[in-house]
């Protein structure tokens, strides 16, 4: 396992550099001059050529492309992603202020996803073909089909406007997180219920299940074994869902005015705050890579068949 982990860590390095290069080049492909953008977002409506040239020197845009990329990578490794064009604060500080709100929202959504998906998926496989199973399958279909922004608006209209149970926006009270978390989790719940249900039903017809029944094991013990052997696909999907929960909060955070990094990124896009956009792309890409790495290692530890292939 140590050798496998070392190989996977080494393989991650060029991927991260590829992500960083992509994040850097996407911003530099803009037709507008970043120096002019930096001046305009600071209320300079008609910047002169001299002002633009001075700003280019200040931002280091007068240097060759590869030199600028090398400096940006070196600074990023030290946690320096530049200064925001709008607030004139370090980008890392801006992200650090917004990150706790996003992490709390993602954690609440993850709790809902795991608890609801496991319960509904296991029960649906146990009562396969029943009215309950058909109801859950209909719920999965509808939940996967509805876009998150529409779900959020419906929940806000019913629970906030009509019933007055929750705030319509912001982080005023602890209960304010409920509607955004439910909105964010619903599509993921539909996916995991389907994965758990289908894998458990498939494993019902495997030899190890028949052997457990012949041995006279309790039904609860057999269900636990079925659930454990059905987790491989779900764990793989979970590894990509965790970064999606963090990076995918953009729509939900803007609907509910949640002060997280998703809303920060959208605000940066509207303000053409390029350093924040660059840092967001880089950090989200790294998050996807490392979550995928952790899941691969966990799958290898849990599945003896994968260890034999190493």
In DSSP terms, 90 is beta-bridged to 83
pLDDT score for 305:
59
Q: What is the mean pLDDT of residues 88-101?
A: 87
Sorted by sequence, the CB contacts under 8 Å of residue 57 that are 6+ apart come out as: none
Is the pLDDT at 96 greater than 70? The verdict is: yes
pTM, 2 dp: 0.77
Sorted by sequence, the CB contacts under 8 Å of residue 118 that are 6+ apart come out as: 192, 196, 227
How confident is the prediction for the chain on average, in pLDDT? Answer: 79
Q: How confident is the model at residue 208 (pLDDT cuts 50, 70, 90)?
A: low
90 φ, ψ to 5°?
A: -55, 140
CATH superfamily of 100-269: MetI-like (1.10.3720.10)
| pLDDT tens digit sequence for 252-276 | 888 888 888 888 888 888 777 788 8
| pLDDT tens digit sequence for 22-50 | 888 877 676 666 776 677 766 666 667 77
Q: How confident is the model at residue 219 (pLDDT cuts 50, 70, 90)?
A: low
% of the chain at pLDDT higher than 90:
0
Centre a 10 Å sphere on the Cβ of residue 32 and count the other Cβ atoms it contains: 10
32 φ, ψ to 5°?
A: -80, 155
DSSP state of 32: S
Q: What is the mean pLDDT of residues 199-211?
A: 72
pLDDT score for 42:
64
**Reduced to 3 states, what is the DSSP secondary structure of residue 83?**
strand
């Amino acid at each position: 396992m140590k050798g496998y982990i070392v190989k996977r860590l080494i393989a991650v390095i060029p991927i991260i550099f590829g992500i960083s290069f992509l994040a850097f080049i996407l911003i530099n492909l803009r037709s507008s001059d970043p120096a002019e953008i930096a001046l305009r977002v600071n209320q300079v409506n008609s910047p002169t050529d001299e002002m633009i040239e001075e700003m280019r020197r200040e931002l280091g845009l007068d240097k060759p492309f590869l030199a600028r990329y090398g400096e940006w990578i070196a600074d990023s490794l030290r946690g320096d992603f530049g200064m925001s064009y709008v607030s004139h604060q370090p980008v890392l500080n801006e992200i650090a202020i917004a990150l706790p709100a996003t992490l709390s929202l993602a954690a609440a959504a993850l709790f809902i996803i795991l608890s609801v998906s496991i319960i509904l998926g296991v029960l649906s496989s146990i009562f396969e073909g029943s009215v309950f199973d058909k109801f859950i399958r209909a719920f999965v279909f509808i939940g996967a089909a509805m876009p998150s922004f529409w779900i959020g608006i419906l929940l806000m209209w019913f629970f906030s406007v009509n019933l007055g149970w929750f705030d319509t926006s912001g982080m005023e009270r602890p209960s304010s997180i409920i509607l955004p978390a439910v909105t964010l989790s619903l599509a993921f719940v539909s996916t995991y219920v389907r994965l758990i249900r289908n894998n458990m039903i498939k494993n019902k017809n495997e030899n190890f299940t028949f052997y457990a029944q012949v041995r006279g094991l309790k039904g609860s013990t057999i269900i636990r074994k079925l659930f454990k052997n059905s987790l491989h696909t779900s764990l793989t999907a979970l590894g990509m869902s965790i970064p999606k929960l963090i990076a995918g909060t953009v729509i939900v955070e803007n609907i509910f005015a949640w002060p997280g990094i998703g809303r920060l990124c959208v605000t940066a896009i509207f303000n053409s705050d390029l350093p924040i956009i660059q840092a967001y792309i880089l950090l989200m890409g790294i998050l996807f890579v490392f979550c995928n790495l952790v899941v691969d290692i966990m799958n290898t530890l849990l599945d003896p068949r994968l260890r034999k292939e190493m």
